[in-house]
Amino acid sequence: MKNILNKLFNYQSLEKGEAREILINLASGYYNPSQMAAFMTVFMMRNITVDELSGFRDAMLELCIKIPTKGYNAIDLCGTGGDGKDTFNISTLASFVVAGAGYHVAKHGNYGVSSVCGSSNVLEHLGCRFSNDVGRIMKSFDQSKIAFLHAPMFHPAMKNVAPIRKELGVKTFFNMLGPMVNPAAPANQMVGVFNLQLARLYGYLYQNTEKKFLIVHSLDGYDEISLTGNFKYISHDGEAIGTPNSLGLSCLEAADLVGGTDIKSAANLFKVILDRRGTTSQNNVVIANAGLAISTINGLPFKAGLEEARTSLISGKAKQAFSKFLEINN
């Protein structure tokens, strides 16, 4: 690792094969904690390259426990995290809205590292028991339209890295990797990223796959469609700028998106919104993200996707999907 660190400190980058090998060694505990921490922080002091990110991705996918979802036309909705905004759990709520609309969702998530409460924190607090049992995962997929893949259970080799990430408490390249290493390999992906450079990097990597994708970044820094201003989106069709008005929605304030101060309050807010007791602003930001995910799957215009999402949330179908999900996963 000393030679690797010296190479990186001298502003050199890793080849794809090097990156893959290093991540496999990280996972196997080959390096000591100080070396691993130093390695992880390098990539927040300079931009990660396409070869480095793709090498890390290949290693993670090689080591993970895989879930067979071919034929389900599923989607994953997630953000990289690391935007420092501490919003409520928008992408997790949007996932249940998409499931309530009748689409399969393979939600890949984890405990919060750079935020108060990640998707795993809130779902665990509400009674979800995580499992990597394929039978149970597929039952959840079939009966509730959504399965939750708690990352540590599907990437067991990462157990050596998790404590260091938690102690660092800042985003690392693992935040960038999360959406790319879903063990279910869903056919569709909507991912929010924390800066434009990463958005374009993701776009380059996804363009070379058969996956239908939508990468979003709010230009005021959110790793999702926040409706607080304009947003960039990238798909196989290219990239463009969207606005809240283009979705038929009003612009929001940052205060409208604030999450709970702890896991309990975040989970309570999650329930309030699914129970159709959320504010108009909270509902609209969830509907916006769910709607664009639906449009990614079925190819319809964004506004048509938003209408399906709104119906799912307001009719209670999203809550029904969540209730069935908990029934299977408790």
CATH at 8 = 1.20.970.10
* 9 in a structural domain: yes
Does one domain contain both 33 and 147?
A: no
Any idea what DSSP says for residue 228?
A: S
Q: Are 199 and 271 in a shared domain?
A: yes
Structural domain includes residue 324: yes
Q: What confidence score (pLDDT) does residue 169 get? A: 82
Residue 69 lies in a domain: no
- The reply to whether 18 falls in a domain is yes
Q: Quote the number of domains for the chain.
A: 2
Domain range for residue 89?
A: 75-328
> Could you give the 3-state DSSP secondary structure of residue 75?
strand
Same domain membership, residue 175 and residue 39: no
Per-residue pLDDT of the chain (330 residues; tens, 9 = 90+): 999 999 999 999 999 999 999 999 998 889 999 999 999 999 888 889 999 999 999 999 999 999 998 889 999 998 887 677 889 999 999 999 999 999 999 999 998 866 678 899 999 999 999 999 999 999 999 999 999 999 999 998 788 888 888 888 887 888 788 889 999 999 999 999 988 988 999 999 999 888 999 999 999 999 999 999 999 999 999 999 999 999 999 999 999 999 888 999 999 999 999 999 999 999 999 999 999 999 999 999 999 999 999 999 999 999 999 999 999 999
Q: Supply the pLDDT for residue 319.
A: 98
For the range 8-12, what are the long-range contacts, defined as Cβ-Cβ under 8 Å and sequence gap of 24 or more?
A: 8/39, 8/42, 9/42, 11/46
User: Are residues 181 and 229 both part of a single domain?
Assistant: yes
Same domain membership, residue 98 and residue 50? no
Question: What's the angle, vertex CA 294, arms to CA 250 and CA 73, rounded to 5?
Answer: 165
Say whether both 239 and 165 belong to one domain. Answer: yes
- 111 with 184, same domain: the answer is yes
CA atoms within 13 A on the CB side of 168: 24
In the prediction, which pLDDT does 113 show?
A: 67
What CATH number is associated with residue 323? 3.40.1030.10
Same domain, 56 and 101: no
pLDDT given for residue 31 in this prediction: 94
- End position of a domain, from candidates 63, 86, 108: 63
CA distance 135 to 153: 15
Q: Are residues 235 and 176 part of one domain?
A: yes
pLDDT at site 89: 93
Asked if residue 115 and residue 49 are part of one domain, the reply reads no
Q: Looking at the structure, tell me whether residues 185 and 152 fall in a common domain.
A: yes
Q: What is the pTM of this model?
A: 0.92
